[in-house]
Structure formats: structure tokens, C-alpha cells
Structure 1
């Protein structure tokens, strides 16, 4: 089951799912991207989980099922779990596809589903940044410091940490640039897949101090000892960070004007 949490409230970008980007709303773009990714996986349900009737109607106008969930639910994963538990039979796994990240790398959703089918408790995609992409991320964070998340990971793919800052710090970077085509920085993509029991355990755990400081709910998993498997995916047509601010909308619209629109058309 794939769930798109679409909350009405957002302190930085009010009524974010309904905001237009180059003529198409954020929610319709996310639905179209998910539907395209699931084209070869017809047995997996796609649902929007929201606390707002207008957002639910907007999802249904795009031909997507919508489930009303309680406004008190504070996280996307919590809203995804509520939608899953509302089914007649709980699914084996739940993928929470953040409604503010419509420009996912090709294959990211199917890669996460594959990792879950292979036994991962939690899976999420990451992108290896080349040096130009790292420079672009640094420049972007000068204007929007809490937009975009990086990850450090073990050799076997387990996530060691996520942060809104750029990690790891790079000693002797100039020399490394001369010998390595890729930087050591991985960028996290806002897409999470959970085995249903791992998601239940996560939601039964109180928010942790570092989760609260960074504003990243996936840190609760790591602080609670729940392993997170990262899945490398190729970079998308352009920057895949979430839409969190007015500046993000301006930046993405400029990229669409340059590169074309990567979002599939809704049927």
C-alpha cells in the first residue's frame, strides 16, 4: 500500500498540497508521479490520507482514493498508518510518499518496495551527490537552511544518521575533488517504506529529543534501534528536495522552465 499524507496545516507554506507549481497543484503532481511509478505494480493501492475535506475532494478529482484522518495526527507516517489500519485487512507494508516531494528519482518508489519485499523493516532512497550537486545544495541552504536532508550510511546500506545540515564534514575536500567524481554526501529522498509492524512500533514510540531538534521523524527510528535500509537511486531530472517554502516553488518553476516538466500527465 502506498499512502500520500496530505496535511492542510503547514507553518511555512499554508495549505501546501493545493499550491500550484507551474499550473499543477503539488498534490496532483505527487499523485501523477506515484501512479506512473506503480504502473507495473497494479496490485498495490494508492491512497491520499488527509485531514481536510477540500484536499480529499482534490485527490478524488484526480481519480485517487482519499481517506480522512484525524487532524491531531502529527506526522506523515502516523497518517499513513491510520490509512492502513482503516483497510479491511492491514497491508503487509506501507509506503509513505511525502506529498511535498513530487519530483522523485525514477525507480525510487519501486526500489523501496523491492527492499521491503526482501525483508527490510524500513527502507528509504538516497542519492549520491556529485560535486556540482553538492555545491548547489550548499548554495540552496544559504537561502533555505531547513530544506533538503542528507544521510550518512554504513557500507551495507544501513542509515547511520540523517540531518538538515550537510553531513559528513569533508576534510581535505579540494584534494578529494581531484580524485573522486562523487562527493561523500548522500541526499535523502522524502519517501519511506515500512513493514507494518515496524510502522506500528514507530508510532507507539514518543518523539525523541534529536528528532525534535532536527525536525526529522526518521531519527526516532534510529534512536529507537529500528534499522533503516537506504536504497541508492539515480538523480532525477532536477533537484529532488521537498517543497517547503515559497522560495522552493520559485526554484522548481525555474527548473521546469529550463528542463521541461517531469511530472506525468494525469489520465
Structure 2
């Protein structure tokens, strides 16, 4: 297999325990779990050879298998989705050329986001990559509102001129002084592409102070000198948002209904 998509999912989320099994109602009134909607999104991607749900939780595994997903059981020692992906690669026997980590809390990820990432990974010099999306007014307002109310919402990215990442943060970066005339803010999309060798190296590095402070796994690459290539993607009218807090359920259901997603 050249490209596989992994969907890491854990039950014991600090901010939202049991999050993968939370049900979201779509445009037709049908409720589907968060992990089911992430799996549906992954299966719309062109260019992937297989999709697996990764978990250490029997409840998530049983539920995923009930709707037809292939499941790889990973250890409870995995501290984040990247570590879970590294464990899963070892279970495949022959490693793929590219591993895509589609976060289990991002069911609104359009297939063209992931397809653009797969295209970026065609460059053999790229060891790790992730999409970024320029914030529209609604998304930026959600970012600022969450921080003003003490909630940690999405993640922002700041980049060099060549598109490699300078930093990722759960704060809104750069500083937004006014929503009437805001600076350009880039929303980090919770999808990663890796080379198996980059995943192996990741497992050898300790958790760094920035990764620990922000709770952002990709910072371990930056802290250890591995460039992270940011792939700019376009929303094409689709609102992108992850499920980070209970308040996001209504936000995501609103988008599902607006977009006619069952």
C-alpha cells in the first residue's frame, strides 16, 4: 500500500471524555457517532489504499467494527495520535510510503484537504506535512470567542515564507486586536502526513516543553529540528471546525444541516 489513512480515537479525552462516541445529527435527522462521521470523511478521499480506526478502547473498537471499519488496537501508552500511528505502522508488516493521520474529532474535513496533503507527500524531501486554512470571518470569530470565554478551541499556525511552520498554538496567532480589521490568521487542520521513518524518529524523542504546554503533538517535530510543511487548502464554501468542546456539537450539526450532509 502506498498511502493509508489512520483515524486515532481515544475514549479518555481530557476536555471531552467519550468524545468519539458522541452522536451528531445530520441533515436528514440521522444521528451518527463522531468516529463514524470521521470514517465516512476518510472514505471519500481519492488516493488512499486503506482506512483504519486506531484505538486502545474496546467500546470504540466494537462500535467501529459495527459500521464496517477496520480496527487496529494500539496501546494505552500512546500519548497522542502520532504515537498511535507509529504503533499501527508496525502492525502492517510492510510499511506504506505515506501515513495520513485524520483526527477522529474532525468530521467536517473535506476530501480535497486530505488529497492536497497526499499530493504534498509526493515530494520525497517532505518528511511531515499538514494542511492549513485561511480563517474566514465566522471561524475567526469562533476562535476569538472561545479564548475570551476561557475555552480552548481550534489551533492556529504561523509560517515562514516558504510554507514551513514556525509554530502552532491554541492561542489565536498572530494577535487579533480587532475583528473589524484582523490580520491574516491560519487555522491548522487536524490532519498529518508522515513518512514511516519520521514516525519512527518521533517515538525516540521525549515530549518537549512546548508540546506539553500546548498539548500539540506536531510541535515535537519542530522542537527536534524536523521541518513541518504546511499545505494551504481552500474551504470552497465549506465551514471547517473540529469537535473540541461540548459547545462544538451544535456548531458541527449546524454545518452538517447547512451542507446537506446526512
**TM-score with structure 1 length normalisation?**
0.88
Matched position secondary structure for 1:114: helix
Are the equivalent residues in 1 in contact too, given 2:97–2:196 (CA < 8 A)? Answer: yes
Are the equivalent residues in 2 in contact too, given 1:151–1:161 (CA < 8 A)? Answer: yes
Q: Could you tell me how far 1:158 is from its partner in structure 2?
A: 0.3
Q: Could you tell me how far 1:48 is from its partner in structure 2?
A: 0.6
> What corresponds to 1:240 in structure 2?
240
Structure 1 residues 236, 6: CA separation in 2 closer, same or farther (over 3 Å shift)? farther
Would you say 1:148 and 2:154 are equivalent positions?
yes
* Alpha-carbon displacement from aligned partner over 1:133-179 (angstroms, at most 9, x marks no partner): 423421233346311000001111101100001111257986xx4xx
Q: Pick the aligned partner of 1:96 from 98, 101, 111.
A: 101
Q: How does 1:1-267 map onto structure 2 within 5 Å?
A: 1-22=4-25, 23-37=31-45, 40-41=46-47, 44-119=49-124, 120-143=126-149, 145-169=151-175, 177=181, 183-235=183-235, 237-257=237-257, 259-262=258-261
Are the equivalent residues in 2 in contact too, given 1:153–1:161 (CA < 8 A)? Answer: yes
Are the equivalent residues in 1 in contact too, given 2:154–2:187 (CA < 8 A)? Answer: yes
Structure 1 residues 61, 172: CA separation in 2 closer, same or farther (over 3 Å shift)? closer
Unaligned runs of 5+ in 1: none
Q: Could you tell me how far 1:237 is from its partner in structure 2?
A: 4.8
- Name the CA distance, whole Å, in 2 between partners of 1:107 and 1:155: 23
- Name the CA distance, whole Å, in 1 between partners of 2:219 and 2:109: 21
Deviates more, 1:238-247 or 1:146-155: 238-247
Are the equivalent residues in 1 in contact too, given 2:16–2:246 (CA < 8 A)? Answer: yes
CA RMSD of aligned residues (A): 2.1
- Name the CA distance, whole Å, in 1 between partners of 2:245 and 2:142: 17
Are the equivalent residues in 2 in contact too, given 1:130–1:183 (CA < 8 A)? Answer: no
Matched position secondary structure for 2:194: strand
- Name the CA distance, whole Å, in 1 between partners of 2:240 and 2:75: 29
Structure 1 residues 172, 239: CA separation in 2 closer, same or farther (over 3 Å shift)? closer
Structure 1 residues 140, 14: CA separation in 2 closer, same or farther (over 3 Å shift)? same
Q: Could you tell me how far 1:251 is from its partner in structure 2?
A: 2.3
